[in-house]
Structure formats: C-alpha cells, structure tokens
Amino acid sequence: MGENGKMQLRNTLIVFRKELKDMMRDRRTLVGMFLFPIVMFPLMTTGFNSFERRMRDRVKQERSTVMLLGAENAPALAEKLRASENLEVIPTAAGYAALIGDKKLHAAVEFPAGFEAALQAHATEAPLVKIYHYNTESRSEAAASKIEVLLGEYREGVVTQRLTARGLPEPFVKPLETKEENVAAPEKVSGSRLAIILPYFIIFLCLMGAIHPAMDLTAGEKERGTLETILASGVHRGDIVMGKFLLVLLVSLTTTVVSIASYGVTAAYSSSYMQQMTGGQSFRMSFAAIGAVLLVSLPLAVLFSSGLIAVSLYAKNYKEAQGYVGPAMFVVIVPAMAAMLPGVDLNTTLALIPIANVSLMMKELLTGGMPVGFLLATFASTTLYAGIALHIAYTLFQREDVLFRT
C-alpha cells in the first residue's frame, strides 16, 4: 500500500510510466495506434474510391448484350437499339430469363404486339415496353440504363414529330418548368455526406484503440502471472488501476487523433474523393466545431477505456477476455451507426443515450451546427456514464475473487 494505505497521484503516475514503457515495446499496440490508422484511411478513401470508380466506368463502357423480343412489332425502335455502339443485340432465343439470371445475358427488351400501329394511331393507352434485367447485378443494371436512355430519346422524337405535324410548340406538352434551389448554407451541404460516415469511424476507432491495451494490462497480465508482482509492490490498488486506465485512455485518444489526422491529410490530397463526398463544394470546419468534436470524444474514450478494463479484468485469461469483448463491440457499433440513419436528429432524449448521442452530436457539428444545449447534455451524460464505468473498474480491482480467478 502507499502511505497510510491511500491513493497517491505520484504512485499512479509511476504505474502509468511503467505500463507506458512496456507498451512501447509491444508492436501490436504501436501498429494499432499509428500504422493501422495511417494506412487504413488512404486505402479506404483514395484507394478504394479510385478502384471503385474505375470499375464502374469500365462496366459502363462495356458493350451490353441484349436480346430483343418481338422486334418485328417495333422495327424502327429495334433498329435504333441495334445501331447503338453500347449494345450488342444477340439473336432471340428461349429462356432469356435464365440467361440473365446466369449472367450470360445482360438484359432483354420486349415490344408488345401492335406497338407500331398504336403509335401511329395515337392510342389513348401507351404501349408498354418491358425491360428484363438482373436487379443489383452491375452489368445488367448498366444495360437497363443504356436501354432506358435510348427509349427516352425515341419517346422524345415521337413527341416532337407529333407536335410538328400539328404545328404546336413544345410547351404544349410541357406547360411548366421546375428548378430546385438550395437555401442551406454551403458548409451544411458539403458536410452532409461526411457527417454520415465520419462519426461512426471516429467512435469505432476510439473503441478499437482501447481494446488491446485494456485486455493486455488486465487479462494478459493474469495469464503471464505478472499481476501478482504488481499487487505485491506495496502500491495502492487504486493507484494501479488508475495508472492502467490512464494508459488505455492515452492509446485510445492517440489512435483516434492519428486516425482523424490521417483522414484529413488523405482527403486534402484527394480532390476527387472530396468532390464526391461534398458534392463538389469546399468543406471547412471551424476551430470551435473541431474543439467540440474533441470535447465529446474525451468522455467517450474514458467510457470505453474504463468499461473495457472492467470487462477484461473479470476474465481469467486473454482468450476469455476476447470472448467478452466481442459482444461489447456489438453494443457499441449499433448506436454508433445512429448518424447513418435517415431522419434521425439529435433531441433531448437522444442526447442522453450513450454512444448514439456522440454520433448524432458529431453529425450536427460536421454539418455546421452548434447546438450548445445538446452539446452540454451529450458531454454531461457521457461523462456520467464514463464515471460509472470507471467506478466499476475501480471496484472490481479491489475484489480478490476477480483478480485471482482461475
């Protein structure tokens, strides 16, 4: 024990420095703190985004194989489809649906009987042209899109011919025009897409940064038999658990900050990615907004660090701790996705729900909002939950049946 069996800040810092030196020799922790975040975001943003765009463009440029059903019913339109450089019309055969399902055919177009006659007679009921495709299959959807464009051009040509034959102007069939104008502030628009995904990643990385050190400093030390040595050192158990907690918190916050910095640098040097994410508009966050994001991240990191220490401390070994942490990750990931849900905005009730409140608060900040009341409520409630988790970890560290589970 420390002097008079009481906790001392000096002893807490001694434990912290000791654990920090050990951690600096642990490659897994260093990789998780620095290498993983630095490499992950460039791969996820510029790397994956560039690869996905190239593949999408490649699919669009490929000639789509199409089958025409009932082409004799619409000779002019069928000829237009055959003349397209984007389509390869193959001979009609039975089982076109199975061919599409097997990805041997991209799409099929069916022209109803009497199609040409209905157009010439100006029938009151427009003839229906069916496009058969494989929903969610990229090449089939691309083929259907190409066919829709050609059918639209043909439709407009028919309308123009009819107007010309009757000496009518184009506004006769288009009596009004519509125009959409955005009245939201540019920063709200540019940050809207980033606000959907960034809160989740910040919360997830904050959690991931704390997992390994929390398990290693508790269940890992049990397994290695080094926890008994620390307990026999005469240092108050409260100093020990607080020293370990500070190290886990440091790793969690470092991982989060490095990840955010990596994302910011990657986004700054990837104009195509930022244009896609911001709709072509410039994106800037005020220092107040950045400070607010860090403000709500701090108690969240405390919550994760202390909660993971408590969960891992109860385990007999590292493998058992992994079994406990798995479900805990699910409990975190689900509310962290709150910012991704359409129509869900921060309110008084949601500001009190752990993790979800931070996710939605970050969403508000990334879109240019600064709801001070909700910000304070989110910070206060998360701090309360973090304090409860830290108290549980502290209490468990005083129990012999938990420390020496076998």
Q: What pLDDT does residue 343 have?
A: 80
> Among 57-66, 117-126, 273-282, whose mean pLDDT is lowest?
273-282
Return the percentage of the chain with pLDDT > 70, whole number.
84
Mean pLDDT over 35-61 rounds to 68
Confidence of residue 267 (pLDDT cuts 50, 70, 90): low
Q: Which residues pair with 131 in a beta bridge?
A: 109
pLDDT of amino acid 1: 42
pLDDT at 49: 61
Q: What is the pLDDT at residue 395?
A: 92
Domain residue extents for the chain: 3-44+188-403, 63-172
Q: What is the pLDDT of residues 79-92, one digit of tens each?
A: 999 999 889 999 99
Q: pLDDT band at residue 365, thresholds of 50, 70 and 90?
A: confident
CATH 3.40.50.1000 is the classification of domain 63-172: no
Residue bearing the bigger pLDDT, 41 or 325: 325
Q: Is 322 exposed, middle or buried (0-12, 13-18, 19+ CB in 10 A)?
A: middle
Percentage helix, strand, coil for the chain under 3-state DSSP, each rounded to 5:
70, 5, 25
Enter the DSSP assignment of 5: G
Question: Is the pLDDT reported for residue 2 higher than 50?
Answer: no
Mean pLDDT throughout 61-80? 90
Q: Ramachandran region of residue 74, left (φ > 0), alpha (ψ -120 to 50) or beta? A: beta
- Give the pLDDT confidence score for residue 4 in this predicted structure: 44
The three-state (H, E, C) secondary structure of 290-339, written as one string: HHHHHHHHHHHHHHHHHHHHHHHHHCCCHHHHHHHHHHHHHHHHHHHHHH
- Tell me how far CA of residue 336 lies from CA of 189, 256, 368, 375, in angstroms: 22, 15, 20, 17
Distance of CA 234 to the CA centre of its chain: 47
Query: pLDDT tens across 240-250, in order?
Result: 899 999 999 99
- % of the chain beyond a pLDDT of 90: 32
**DSSP 8-state assignment for residue 108:** E
Report residue 122 as tokens: 């100006």
pLDDT-derived band at 22 (thresholds 50, 70, 90) equals confident
Q: What band does 3 get if pLDDT is binned at 50, 70 and 90?
A: very low
Q: Residue 106's closest CA among 114, 116, 96, 91?
A: 96
Q: pLDDT digits over 292-329, tens only?
A: 888 899 999 999 999 999 999 888 888 888 898 888 88
Calculate mean pLDDT across residues 206-222.
Answer: 89
What per-residue confidence (pLDDT) applies to 191? Answer: 59
Least confident of 52-56, 64-68, 136-140, 342-346: 52-56
The pLDDT of residue 287 is above 80 = no
pLDDT digits (tens, 9 = 90+) for 150-184: 999 998 888 888 888 788 777 776 777 788 776 66
Alpha-carbon distance of 308 to 252, in angstroms, equals 11
Prediction pTM value: 0.70
| Local confidence band at 7 (pLDDT 50, 70, 90 cut-offs) | low
Burial 138-148 (b: 16+ CB within 10 A, else e): ebbbbbbebbe
pLDDT range class, residue 50, cuts 50, 70, 90:
low
- How many distinct helices (H) and strands (E) make up the chain? 19, 4
Write out pLDDT tens, residues 384-395: 999 999 999 999
Average pLDDT, integer, range 199-216: 89
User: What is the average pLDDT value for the chain, to the nearest integer?
Assistant: 83
- Sort strands 107-110 and 130-133 into parallel, antiparallel or unpaired: antiparallel
